[in-house]
Structure 1
């Protein structure tokens, strides 16, 4: 089993473990806002893992710069969630650091080679006045 699949299954288990308590506390309005945010972080991390896992299931013809930036962004969001939950180790942070260095190198190499959209000569639209 791939590490990413194992991480996804663990994240699903963590969410499943907390779901009955979260549901009860939400229904009784006993869940503190901070706990709601913590659980939301778990859900965000789970969504990120599931999206990445699904993306890897589809064959890609070409890996673009946008793909690289998107994937790194997802990993950073996942890292933030893990940092907040206190489940991230030093080795994991070094791995993220490497991802960021690699992304910076790619952006530096290819950023100025990207096509630039033509500048618009149209006047910007003025906002509509508020309804009275």
Structure 2
């Protein structure tokens, strides 16, 4: 078994071990906001490991512009969720900043190479009153 798979299985077991207590504490209102954020951190870590594991399972085709935009979009959605849960650190924000800069560079490079759609000969009709 690959090390990454073993790490993922351990993370799943850790989250599974905490689920009964977390569920009970949430239902009874006994779980503090801080403990909720800590558990959210475990879930974010698990989600990150699972995403990485899934990415490793896919064939290594050349990275396209669509792939880069999709991957950056996923990271932004993950970061937004972490920000909502107040479970994000400075290095996480810096990493997303690097991703966005890299994406901007790729978009600049591809922007000049994409075909320009032909202009229509007639302007659109204005709506009738």
Q: Same fold (TM over 0.5)?
A: yes
> Aligned equivalents of 1:85 and 1:11: distance in 2?
20
Contact residue 45 and residue 81 of structure 1 kept, 8 A:
no
Q: CA deviation at 1:73?
A: 1.3
Contact residue 40 and residue 85 of structure 2 kept, 8 A:
no
Farther-moved stretch of structure 1 (40-49 vs 71-80): 40-49
1:51-95 deviations in Å (ceiling 9; x for gaps): 342122233121111111111111122222332333322122111
Partner of 1:91: 91
Return the TM-score normalized by structure 1. 0.56
- Structure 2, unpaired ranges of 5+: 120-129
- Structure 1, unpaired ranges of 5+: 120-132
> Aligned equivalents of 2:79 and 2:46: distance in 1?
12
> Aligned equivalents of 2:9 and 2:81: distance in 1?
16
Partner of 1:72: 72
Return the TM-score normalized by structure 2. 0.57
Query: RMSD of the TM alignment (CA)?
Result: 4.0
Partner of 1:123: none
Contact residue 79 and residue 88 of structure 1 kept, 8 A:
yes
- Structure having the higher Rg: 2
1:92-129 deviations in Å (ceiling 9; x for gaps): 2111111111111111211342356779xxxxxxxxxx
